[in-house]
Structure 1
Amino acid sequence: MTISGEVLRNMRALAAKQDWVVTTAQLRAAGAERADVRRMLRAGQWLPLTRGSYWIGRDARGPSLRARVRGLLLTCGSQAMAAGPTAARLLGIQGLPPDDGTLHLATLHATIRNRQGVHIHRTLVPDHARTTLRGIPLTTPARTCADLLLQLPRAEAVSVLDSALHQGVLTSADRLTLPTHLSGRPGARQARTWIPLANARAESPLETRIRLICLDGGLPPPVLQWPIPDPERGRAFRIDLGWPAQRVGTEADGQGPMPPPKPSTKTASARTAWPPSSPA
C-alpha cells in the first residue's frame, strides 16, 4: 500500500509554508502511517533532518540551512531560537569560520540538550533581542553580533561586524547597543575593545584581516575603498586600503591587476599603487 495522493497533497501544502519541512506529528495528523514514511525515505523522496522532522522538497541541492533550522525548531518548540553562527548565516553575515554543519540554538529550556549537530547556548535572550526572519525565530542582528564577539577570535569577530555593517544588517544605531548586549557577560571587557575596529566600508573578510594586520604593525588607519582618478583614461580606480598622505594603496582581493601604466605614470600593480595624483 502506498501513501495516498490526498495525504501527499496535504503534506506538500503544509511543507510549502515551512521551507518544505514537516514533523512526525504533522505527518500523523495528515494520515500518514509509519510504513508510509519509511517507504518515502527508502525511495529518497524524503530526507530525515533532525529527530522528528523530514525534508520533502525537490531541490537537487538538498535541504537549505533554513530548512535544517526550521526542522530543528519545529521539534524544539517556541522556547528556542537560532543564535550565534546559525543566526548570522541566516542573516547573510560573512566572516564566520567554516561551517561544520552544527546548528546553534539559544534557550533556557532544560529539556533541549546538545546532541550531534546541535549546540545549545544556555542563555537568557530578552524580548528586545529576539526577532523573526520569514517565520524563523532568531536573535536580532545586534544580539547575534554581540554573541559572536564573545565566541570568536578577534579577526573573525571584527570581520563579522564589518560584514554586518557593510550589508546594512547591523545599523549604526544597532552598533551603539552592542556594549549593552555584552554587559555582564564573560569576555565582555575584551569584546568591547573590538567594536571601534569595525568599519562599514570593508567589503570582504580578507580586507578586514589585512586592515588589522596593518594596524597591529603600527600603521595609521587606512582609507577604505580609496578612489584614485585617472584623467588620461577618464575613469577612476578603487583601492581596498589606502594611505593618501603617503600615496600608497593595497588591494586585498581584486579580480585582476590594473591596466599597465604608461612609462611616465607611476602606477604599480594591483598589490600596491602609487597614484599619479592625489585623490579628489
Structure 2
Amino acid sequence: MTISSEVLRNVRALAASQDLVLTTAQLREVGAERADVRRMIRAGQWVPLTRGSYWVGRDARGPSLRARVRGLLLLTCGSQAMAAGPTAARLLGIQGLPPDDGTLHLATPHDTIRSRQGVHIHRTLVPDHAHTTLRGIPLTTPARTCADLLLQLPRAEAVSMLDSALHQGVLTSAAHLTLPTHLSGRPGACQARAWVPLADARAESPLETRIRLICLDGGLPPPVLQWPIPDPERGRTLRIDLGWPAQRVGIEADGQGPHGTPQALYEDRFRQNRLATLVPGLTLLRFTWSDTYRPDNILIPLRQALQRP
C-alpha cells in the first residue's frame, strides 16, 4: 500500500511555506499515517531532521541549511532559541567561514535545550535588539553574528568574514561601527576589537582578504583595492584586485572556483595581455590559496616588484 496522491499533494502544499519541513502533528493533520511516514523514510523520499520533524522535499542534494534549521529550531525548540554564530552567518550568506562540518549553532539562555550530536548550544542571553528573523527563521542580527564570530575565529577568517558581510551589504557601514559595543565585556573582546578596523567592503573574496592581510603584515599594504583600469577601446573598465598604481604593480587573487576552468584560464591570459597594453610597464603578480600558507611566496616577489628591501 502506498501513500495516496491526495495526501502527498496536501503534504507538499503545507510544506511549501516552511522550507519543505513538517512536524509529525502536521503530517497527521493532512492525512499521513505513521505507516506512511515510515514507508516514505524507508524509500528515501522523506528525511527525519529531529525527533518529530521531517524534510519532505525532492532535491537530490537533501535538505537545505534553512530546512535543517527550521526542523530543529522553529518546529522543535519553539521560541526559546535562535540560529547563531556560523549557522546564522551562513543563513545570511556571509562567506569566509571555516568549512561547514554540518553542526547547527543555536543561542538560548534556557537550559531545557542541550547540545547533542550535530547541534551546538551557546548558552547566552541575546538582547532584544540583537536578534531578528530571516524569512521566518529567528537568528542573531548581522552585527551580533559578526561580533560572535570575531570572538570565535582566527584573525584571517574573522576579517574575511567581515569583508564578505560588508561587501554583500549584509553588514552596513553603520552596523560595522557598532561591533565594539557588541564585543564589550566579552572574553577575547580586546583582540577581536583590534580586527574590526581591518575590514574592507571592497574585498570580493576571502582569498583577496588573506593576501591583503599578508601584505599588511609584511609592511606593504596595498593603497588601492579593485584598481580600475579604463579600457576605452572596448568601452569597459578592468579591475586589479590589489594595486600599487604609483609603482605599476598589481596582484590578482586566483581562486580555484573562478579561475580553475580552461575557459577561465583563457580569459585570464587575454585579460592580462590587455592590462599590459593599457598599463605599460605593469607588473601583475598572481597568487593562489596555496601561496597564503607561505607568506614569503607573496612578499618576496612583491618586494622585488616594488623595489623595496
Whether the TM-score (by the shorter chain) exceeds 0.5 is yes
Residues 63-87 of structure 1: CA deviation (Å, up to 9, x unaligned): 1111111111111111111111011
Give 1:193's aligned amino acid.
Answer: A
Which residue of 2 is the match for residue 277 of structure 1?
none
Query: Structure 1's 239 and 42: CA in aligned 2 closer, same or farther, altered over 3 A?
Result: same
After TM superposition, the runs of 4+ consecutive aligned structure 1 residues lying more than 6 A away are: 231-234
Larger helix percent: 2
* 1:64 maps onto 2:33 in alignment: no
Moved more, 150-159 or 54-63: 54-63
Give 2:13's aligned amino acid.
Answer: A
Q: Are the aligned partners of 1:226 and 1:241 in contact in 2 as well (CA < 8 Å)? A: yes
Which residue of 2 is the match for residue 259 of structure 1?
273
Which residue of 2 is the match for residue 278 of structure 1?
none
Give 1:113's aligned amino acid.
Answer: R
Q: Are the aligned partners of 1:163 and 1:204 in contact in 2 as well (CA < 8 Å)? A: yes
In structure 2, the residue corresponding to 1:114 is in which secondary structure?
A: coil
Distance in 2, matches of 1:26 and 1:232, equals 62
In structure 1, the residue corresponding to 2:220 is in which secondary structure?
A: coil
Q: Are the aligned partners of 1:211 and 1:222 in contact in 2 as well (CA < 8 Å)? A: no
Give 2:82's aligned amino acid.
Answer: M
Equivalent runs, 1:1-280 vs 2, <5 Å? 1-73=1-73, 74-229=75-230, 236-253=237-254, 255=259, 256-257=268-269, 258-259=272-273, 261=276, 265-269=280-284, 271=286
Residues 231-266 of structure 1: CA deviation (Å, up to 9, x unaligned): 67775431111122333211112742301646x932
Distance in 2, matches of 1:229 and 1:22, equals 54
Query: How far is 1:50 from its partner?
Result: 2.2
In structure 2, the residue corresponding to 1:113 is in which secondary structure?
A: coil
Give the aligned length.
Answer: 272
Give 1:158's aligned amino acid.
Answer: V
Moved more, 244-253 or 102-111: 244-253
In structure 1, the residue corresponding to 2:239 is in which secondary structure?
A: strand
In structure 1, the residue corresponding to 2:196 is in which secondary structure?
A: helix
Residues 211-245 of structure 1: CA deviation (Å, up to 9, x unaligned): 00011111134310012345677754311111223
Q: Are the aligned partners of 1:10 and 1:30 in contact in 2 as well (CA < 8 Å)? A: yes
Distance in 1, matches of 2:237 and 2:2, equals 66
Moved more, 52-61 or 113-122: 52-61
| Unaligned ranges ≥5, structure 2 | 260-267, 287-300, 303-309
Distance in 2, matches of 1:58 and 1:95, equals 29
Residues 144-171 of structure 1: CA deviation (Å, up to 9, x unaligned): 1001000100000000000000000000
Q: Are the aligned partners of 2:251 and 2:284 in contact in 1 as well (CA < 8 Å)? A: no
Distance in 2, matches of 1:125 and 1:33, equals 39
Q: Are the aligned partners of 2:249 and 2:284 in contact in 1 as well (CA < 8 Å)? A: no
| Unaligned ranges ≥5, structure 1 | 274-280
Q: Are the aligned partners of 1:83 and 1:138 in contact in 2 as well (CA < 8 Å)? A: yes
What root-mean-square deviation, in Å, do the aligned CA atoms of Structure 1 and Structure 2 show? 2.2
Give 1:118's aligned amino acid.
Answer: V
Moved more, 22-31 or 49-58: 22-31
Distance in 2, matches of 1:25 and 1:114, equals 24
Calculate the TM-score normalised by the size of structure 1. Answer: 0.90
Distance in 1, matches of 2:280 and 2:39, equals 71
Distance in 2, matches of 1:142 and 1:234, equals 39
Calculate the TM-score normalised by the size of structure 2. Answer: 0.82
Moved more, 210-219 or 247-256: 247-256
Moved more, 178-187 or 50-59: 50-59
Query: How far is 1:120 from its partner?
Result: 0.7
Query: Structure 1's 7 and 234: CA in aligned 2 closer, same or farther, altered over 3 A?
Result: closer
Give 1:82's aligned amino acid.
Answer: A
In structure 1, the residue corresponding to 2:253 is in which secondary structure?
A: coil
Which residue of 1 is the match for residue 305 of structure 2?
none
Which residue of 1 is the match for residue 306 of structure 2?
none
Give 1:9's aligned amino acid.
Answer: R
